[in-house]
Structure 1
Amino acid sequence: MKLINKSMLTVVISLSTASVYYAQQVQDTVSKSKDIEEVVLTGVADIAKDRKTPVAVSTIKEEQIVEKLGNQEFPEILNTTPSVYATKGGGGFGDARINVRGFDQTNTAVLINGVPVNDMENGAVYWSNWAGLSDVTSAMQVQRGLGSSKLAIASVGGTINVLTRAADKKRQGNITVGIGNDGYHKTLFSYNTGKSAKGWSSSFLVSRTAGSMYADGTQFEGYNYYFALGYQPNAKHDLQFTITGAPQWHNQRSFSPTIAEYLKYGKDGEPNRRYNLNWGYLNGEEYSFARNYYHKPVMSVNWDWKISPMSKLSTVVYASFGRGGGTGTLGRVNGKTENGFRTEEGYINFDQIVAENSAIANPGSGSNSVFTRRASINSHNWIGTISSFNHKINSNLNFTVGIDGRYYKGIHYRVSSDLLGAKYIVDNTDINNPNRTLYNTYDPNPNWNPFGSKTNEEKIVYYNDGIVKWIGGFGQLEYSNDNLSAFVQGSVSNQAFQRIDYFLYKPEEQKTETVDLTGYNIKGGINYNISNTSNVFGNIGYYERQPFFGAVFLNNRNDINPNLTNEKIFSAELGYGYRSSILDANINLYRTSWDDIYKRISYRDAATNRTYYASVLGINEIHQGIELDFVVKAIKKMRINGMLSIGDWYYNKDVTASFVDDETREVVKEGQLLIKDVKVGDAAQFTASLGADLDITNWLSLDANYRYAGNLYSSYDPAASLDNRREAIKLPGYGLLDGGVTFKWKLNRTQAFKLRVNVNNILDETYIAESRTSILPTDKVSSAPNAPTYQEAGRVYDGIADGNQVYFGFGRTWNASLTFTF
């Protein structure tokens, strides 16, 4: 592991002497499995157990989520977990993203009650689809590293398992109203019936959230519903049906403005952190070119069968039907796109767009084209099942075997969303139906019908389906006694990929052959309880993962990649835990090697004016580091919490790129991606927090927390270093102070009021949360021969070239909620 520099240690020391503050969630691990299992639906979920499961784990419980999250994004509750970096992305409702140990969401497995939800084509997780998940979560467990899940899932960086409430949660009702900055407001009602004498139980929740986010032009409206029905006829069988969905629409800030634009529309040399390129006014109302709308209901039936005192079968059958997409621009009018209609304040003048579109008598191409809003649809149908059989061989030894089957069909096309005054548009992208004149538009709002189809719309620009079939098997052998526990685990999966393109090919050529790829993993670990206070653990694993759909079929066509190979991940970890009545602490060391990462890059030959592509194989990343978290309970009514994580994430070698002529298949150029030792970007490699909460009385409590993010690098594309080494730029570190207060009024044994107030970024810190680009101060401001550098031109902000596209973090925000429990 590379040496930690002195500046990092200075930050650690300064943080350790900072004022006491409260972490957004307590880094509790669960001492007994029943702590979770009594209140949530576990089913096939693999829950790590403290001082037994040899993985690095943090568990956040329902009360912490409800109180501390407020109007933040759901992943942000994890921001004081070691090696986690969550941001709000563009700042739209549900547009957050999360990195674990330097791996983004596509390489971090997200499961709900043990069921995987990462997109089966690209591994993505869209948190806006789960905008109401925080309302129904009873516990959330983060396992960093390969984790303890038996499935062959994308747990390269870690696993986030969200556990929802079970139908047989105790009888209770809840009414909540909340308000916040920028018109945020929320209403919620939930009720649990408890379990009847005949074994029936149910739980349901409905909520509505609306308003605007901190950034300009980000109005939203979202709903959430959850229903669970349980039936336990006897001690052997337990059945639970659940359905949850969160239909929503929200305006986005989808394209990062440059620092120069934030400064242009700011004041007194300070950036306008709220600035958004994508919106303006139409007929006096907020209107945006970037609007997301989606409804992704998920249904599942869980069946737990205790076959005997030694054997148990857990099965879940689930289905998801996603409908919706996101809007953007289409075409141009009088040679102009949105920047041609920008006002002095930086908004888009949509009324002027309507006027110029309306003046085009016969829309077509060239000078007669029009500028409209389109929607890119990404719907899907997904069904699956997981079944796990567990048998105790004796009091110390047990094994588990199971199957994991999934079918996924992604449906991708575009439609016209708003003609903006144009009479019609002309589309010539379907070779089977050229030169179509299209008048229909489709409202960008979610479809509430969970089984409804919006796929029969009039399509433009592209139309294709992606089909992924998955079948997998897994097994685990586990040994445990009073002091020692160990496991060895393996899984194998086959993914079958197929692409159907209805626009680019004649009917007989639209469907590709099926491409079958097999992957597997094997991992093991051991935990030893040295004493009642101390334990040590270690784990090791190897994973061969199939590439994503976009690597199988090249250039958004039916062209099958001839150089397909599995990505290879090797990970190892060591940890130590300490438990006492005063202090709980954990320290972990980890190293993960990620090899044969696929990258598709392009090269344009000036002589032939043609673009050639290279399928780059062999990119290798190293992610290694140290993690510490602790809880101090020295005073009865005060808890002090802290964490520290220091990562060292970098590319480990240069690789060769061979550019091929797609027509002749000949290599026309070879180059080197000079990326060795370049930092992996997009997440803070140093994070720390320290905090406390204080129960002043039985009815009043205060909390505060401060966290620091440093060694934060910009997003980095290895293709930028083709025959020319380029570094990811290092962004300024930052620290944020958050706080809250809770008032409780207990009316009687079952009824109570609770008032909660949160303030985030209390000090109104201005900071860059992420950068999409890596422009250096020594780079030229343009391609002109005598152009100055950004530094020479004085175009540098806080050490960063102002041409970089960035997202500034939110300024000071607040929310308050009143809850009545009965």
Structure 2
Amino acid sequence: MKRILFFTASFFSLSVHAQQTDSSELLLPVEVKAVRASATAPFAKTNIGKAEIQKQNLGQDLPFLLNQTPSVIVNSDAGNGIGYTGIRIRGTDATRINVTINGIPFNDPESSGAYFVDLPDLLSSVNSIQIQRGVGTSTNGAGAFGGTINLSTNEVNKQAYFESNNSYGSFQSWKNTIKAGTGLLGNHFTADLRLSEIKSNGYIERAKTNLQSYYFSTAYLSDKTSLRFTTFSGKEKTYQAWYGVSQDDLKNHRRVNYAGTEKPGEPYENETDNYKQTHYQLFFTQQLAKNLQFNTGLFYIKGKGYYEEYRPAQNYSDYGLTNPVVGGVAVTQTDLVRQLWLDNDFYGDVFSFQYKKAGTELTLGGAATNYLGNHFGKVIWAEQGLSEPNKTYYQHDAIKNDWNVYTKWQQALNKNLQFFADVQWRGVAHDINGFEANPTLVVNQKYNFFNPKMGLTYQANNWTAFASYSVAAKEPNRDDFEASPTEQPKPERLHDWELGVQRKEKTYNLGATLYYMKYKDQLVLTGKINDVGSYTRTNIDDSYRMGVELEGAVRPTAWFSASANLSLSRNKVKNFNEFIDDYDNGGQKENQYKESDISFSPSVIGAATLTFIPVQKLNVDLLSKYVGQQYMDNTGNAARKLNAFYTQDVRARYSFGKAWLKNVDLILQVNNVFNKEYEPSGYTYSYFSSNKLTTENYYFPMAGTNWMVGLNIRL
């Protein structure tokens, strides 16, 4: 699976959408309020409500729903937002974005990645989303180095309902969803169920996806006590599309897929990624006193799957296999098919005590989790035969323990000024028993992190201003440890200063956030090869991001509204050393850069939405997105850049209902109306050969003009 494998800135946003109000925050489940930033917390944040989620949910993955929010860039391996997708916030990738579902950690404990493909159509069960940019408040799981995404599903639906949501579009893309709920029975019991299937051929050749999922939640509710059990699961099969497209092929063969092409003749038909992940959550909430609530959540996540690949001319000995004898001669090489497996268990508990009275809010919370991961490989077929079919040729276990405790205090100093303080102590222990390419390397690393945060918020005359300072620390990922015992990576640390101002009026709102994020020992790819010949990330002593995020929205009439955001930023790494393979003389050459751009961090990101209501019940949205040029490595080399791009989407929605037919939504969305050829992500590799520097770039192209239509019915 892929999981194995000076002036600054950030936004201007005119956004009337989905900003949650204080009253709506009161409806959030306790386990979510514990980790989310409140309306007055001194952090940059965006809230998205249920109505906005439903309007956009036609089958694309979660990152694409967040595409119009500040400082966000999204990408897709298959090119159409279904299957493996990626997201960056302020240039920071998903391994540094903390993701929780109902306060439960979602990031993979070993890679820190957030693989939304594992939970297809989860958006159909999500009631609200909060995005925090920067360090944000203390939460559970991996440290937030660029942002936090918190998803909530545990809404109470008081009325019985049945929904059928269906969509179809380009590349034979289908989404079929059925949802049903009992409503509140006897004022105490409720249950909700969802079944989903998503299929697509993808924009890239053979980038097929076949995804299924379910969601079930039931709860007992009383005045002072609630008990809720929630389970959801996803099963994905995707044809691999993670190799990208070469620079040579990009112009005339931009849909080419190299996966499976090592097989002679037709590409190998089962060069696929296969994974199933099931979540179980049990929450108990008790009102202990008038102003005091307690919540605890037990969870267990089971994941198991593999990716399969065809490999030519492999040595039997490399797989611990006996050489077969053909015609009296030992055969040492063969084409074969192998599967690389991951079988993991992740479980633990989250908890919080929340005290609230006039002017004071206190939260004491934390979590304790344990991860068990078993990595192993199998050979399932060989052209020259197998003496031991399905032989396991490597097996390496890993354990990760993670615990944290935090205290949050929000205090009104007077009627206009609030003080916020947040202190977290987090401990992490990695125990890794070897790697596929380095089986004898054993890693036992322990870390303790102290992460303080504090700030002030001032409110008066529809103005809100805030200032905050936060510290975050993050442990290395599993792959970072695959180096010699004497060259083990150090944890990363981030100091984040934020300053924001916002004005909200009935017909408009405006806001700006200034930030400065200074990294110590950030882990980045430098091209340096470790002891086993792999390119692993290296600690960089000094790097930073600084920017301004501008936001705003206006609604001058009942039939028109506009929202926009603009991010301007400067993202630099100091004293960066690049290593380039030297095939002529062996070893590597080294280049030094006093200051260069951080990879995948454009200095300009913008988005705008214009909404028209030409007739009653019909909404038309014009969605614009601009991303400036960015670089695929940390050298700022123009030969290794991704070009700037602008895209325009259009969405129309007609809604009506009558009697027993509570609501019908007809939705048409056309993406990339102007058929722009663009690539939001890629990778690069350079080397010296024949006394010449060669750079090979690979890109992940997005689809040209494409469309989806949806029919949502609620009874």
> Is this a same-fold pair by TM over 0.5?
yes
1:676 aligns to what SS in structure 2? Answer: strand
* Whole-Å separation in 2 of the counterparts to 1:47 and 1:711: 33
Contact 1:43 1:302 in 2 (8 A): no
Task: Tell me which residue corresponds to 1:261.
Answer: 249
CA distance in 2, matches of 1:378, 1:563: 24
Give the match for residue 754 of structure 1: 665
Post-superposition Cα deviations, 1:512-560, rounded to whole Å, max 9, x if no partner, equal 57432211200112111022x1110011012233333334x434xxx64
Letter in 2 for 1:643: N
Corresponding residue for residue 521 of structure 2: 596
* C-alpha displacement of 1:278: 1.6
CA distance in 2, matches of 1:467, 1:569: 26
Question: Hey, what's the Cα distance between the residues in 1 that align with 2:641 and 2:200?
Answer: 34
Q: Which residue of 1 aligns with 2:234?
A: 246
1:424 counterpart = 2:385: yes
CA contact (8 A) 1:83 1:647 kept: no
Letter matched to residue 390 of structure 1:
Q
Tell me the TM-score normalised to structure 2 length. 0.88
> What is aligned with 1:542?
471
Q: Structure 1 pair 418/215, CA: closer, same or farther in 2 (3 Å)?
A: farther
Shift of 1:183: 1.2
Aligned to 2:554: 632
Aligned residue type for 2:453? K
Q: Say whether the 8 Å CA contact 1:150–1:490 is kept in structure 2.
A: no
- For residue 28 of structure 1, the aligned residue among 12, 18, 27 is 18
Tell me if the contact between 2:188 and 2:220 (Cα under 8 Å) persists in the aligned partners: yes
Measure how far apart 1:44 and its partner are: 5.7
Aligned to 1:372: 336
Are the aligned partners of 2:98 and 2:141 in contact in 1 as well (CA < 8 Å)?
A: no
Return the structure number with greater relative CO, CA threshold 8 A, min gap 6: 2
Partner secondary structure for residue 204 of structure 1: strand
Selected match of 1:485 from 414, 418, 434 = 418
Shift in alpha-carbon separation, 1:287–1:483, aligned structure 2, 3 A: farther
**1:741 is the counterpart of 2:652:** yes
The residue that corresponds to 1:446 in the other structure is: none
Q: Which whole-Å deviations, capped at 9, do the CAs of 1:392-417 have from their partners, x for residues lacking one?
A: 4x522232222310000111111235
The answer to whether the Cα contact below 8 Å between 1:333 and 1:367 also exists between their aligned partners in 2 is no
1:522 partnered with 2:444 = no
Partner Cα distance (2:435, 2:262) in 1: 36
Post-superposition offset of 1:602: 7.6
Give the Cα separation in 1 of the matches to 2:597 and 2:661.
54
Residue 493 of structure 2 contacts residue 520 of structure 2 at CA under 8 Å; is this kept in 1?
Answer: yes
3-state SS in 2 of match to 1:103: coil
> Which residue is equivalent to 2:430?
497
Contact 1:628 1:645 in 2 (8 A): yes
Partner of 1:123: helix, strand, or coil? coil
Query: Percent identical across equivalent pairs?
Result: 19
Amino acid at match of 1:740: R
Cα distance change, pair 125–334 in 1 and its aligned pair in 2 (3 A)? closer
More off after superposition, 63-72 vs 759-768 = 63-72
Partner of 2:610: 692
Matched, 1:193 2:182: yes
The structure with more radius of gyration: 1
Other-structure match for 1:439: 389
Indicate whether 1:94 and 2:83 are aligned: yes
In 1, Cα distance between the equivalents of 2:420 and 2:327?
A: 67
| Inter-CA distance 379–683: structure 2 relative to 1 (3 Å threshold) | farther
Contact 1:217 1:286 in 2 (8 A): no
Q: Contact 1:273/1:811 (CA < 8 Å) preserved in 2?
A: no
Distance in structure 1 (CA, Å) of the matches to 2:571 and 2:542? 11
Deviation at 1:655, TM superposition (A): 6.4
Distance 2:325 2:334 in 1: 10
Q: CA deviation at 1:205?
A: 0.3
Residue of structure 2 equivalent to 1:429: none
CA–CA separation in structure 2 for the residues paired with 1:547 and 1:296:
24
Q: Secondary structure at the match of 1:120?
A: coil
Could you tell me how far 1:735 is from its partner in structure 2?
0.6
For 2:18 and 2:559, the matched residues in 1 are separated by 16
Counterpart Cα distance in 1 of 2:136 and 2:454 = 10
Counterpart CA distance in 1 for 2:329 and 2:185 is: 68
> Structure 1 87/41 Cα, relative in aligned 2: closer, same or farther at 3 Å?
farther
What amino acid is the match of 1:784?
A: S
2:641 to 720, 730, 753: 730
Match of 1:649 in 2: 571
Structure 1 residues 285-304: aligned runs within 5 Å: 287-288=268-269, 290-304=271-285
Q: TM-score, normalised by structure 1?
A: 0.77
Q: Select which of 61, 72, 78 maps to 1:84.
A: 72
Instruction: Determine if contact 1:584/1:632 at 8 Å carries over to the other structure.
Output: yes
For the structure 1 residues 364 and 550, does the alpha-carbon distance in structure 2 shift closer, same or farther, using more than 3 Å as the test? farther
Distance apart, 1:501 and its partner CA? 4.2
User: How has the CA–CA distance of structure 1 residues 367 and 619 changed in structure 2, closer, same or farther, with 3 Å as cutoff?
Assistant: farther
Q: How many residue pairs end up in the alignment?
A: 696
Q: 1:584 aligns with which of 503, 509, 520?
A: 509
Shift of 1:679: 0.7
Q: Tell me, yes or no, if structure 1 residue 49 matches structure 2 residue 10.
A: no
Partner of 2:3: none
Letter matched to residue 291 of structure 1: T
The question of 1:409 aligning with 2:327 is answered no
| Structure 1 unaligned regions, length at least 5 | 17-21, 267-271, 336-359, 426-436, 441-457, 658-668, 791-800
Q: Distance in 2 between matches of 1:594 and 1:486?
A: 26
CA distance in 1 between partners of 2:443 and 2:518 (Å) = 33
For the 8 Å contact 1:595–1:621, the answer to whether it is kept is: yes
Q: Which runs of 5+ in 2 are unaligned?
A: 1-5, 317-323, 580-586
